[in-house]
């Protein structure tokens, strides 16, 4: 099957956007990801899927921890930055949650400890046990068909 057909089909699944963050020996690393989902309520588990070429793969293998930052509608620049789509690295300031770096202003910050990993094809799924959550109010940044979107606000 054609790769582009597969990509186009998956792109029809509208999603939010996250930046996955972790830290190894004092160095913070972030990566934009929309392959994220909730897995279990008891215990509280989530999963992220990281492609084999991503630097993030080695970082999470080393730290065995990660945070999921669910982006707000005004954080598109951060998504573009952490997807490596702008040349000049921007200066990002991080808050801390449960010892992990998290992005200020994201709608939800969820810290996790890796409890399992599954290599599937060219991606690795990291199952994370949730260790802390911080919520902020706001509207989400969305992604559909390869483009950023925001929710339409309907007057009632």
* Binding residues vs ligand FAD (CB under 6 A): 17, 28-35, 49-51, 54-56, 81-84, 89-90, 92, 143
Instruction: Give the DSSP H or E segment for 6.
Output: helix 3-11
Least distance in Å: CB of 91 to ligand FAD?
7
| For ligand FAD, the closer CB: 146 or 154 | 146
Q: How many CA atoms lie within 13 A of 77 on its CB side?
A: 7
| For ligand FAD, the closer CB: 83 or 108 | 83
Least distance in Å: CB of 3 to ligand FAD?
15
Hey, is 31 helix, strand or coil? strand
| Cα–Cα distance list, 140 to 26, 41, 65, 99, 155 (Å) | 30, 22, 24, 25, 18
Least distance in Å: CB of 23 to ligand FAD?
9
């Amino acid at each position: 099957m054609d790769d582009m057909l597969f990509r186009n089909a998956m792109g029809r699944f509208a999603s939010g956007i996250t930046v996955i963050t972790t830290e190894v020996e004092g160095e913070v690393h972030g990566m934009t990801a929309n392959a994220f989902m909730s897995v279990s309520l008891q215990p509280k588990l989530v999963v992220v899927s990281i492609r084999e070429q991503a630097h993030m793969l080695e970082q999470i293998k080393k730290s065995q921890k990660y945070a999921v930052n669910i982006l707000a509608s005004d954080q598109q620049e951060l998504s573009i930055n952490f997807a490596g789509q702008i040349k000049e690295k921007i200066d990002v300031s991080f808050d801390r949650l449960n010892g992990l770096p998290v992005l200020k202003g994201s709608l939800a910050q969820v810290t996790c400890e890796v409890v399992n990993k599954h290599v599937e094809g060219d991606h690795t799924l990291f199952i994370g046990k949730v260790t802390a959550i911080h919520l902020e109010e706001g509207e989400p940044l969305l992604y559909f068909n390869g483009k950023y979107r925001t929710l339409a606000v309907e007057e009632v």
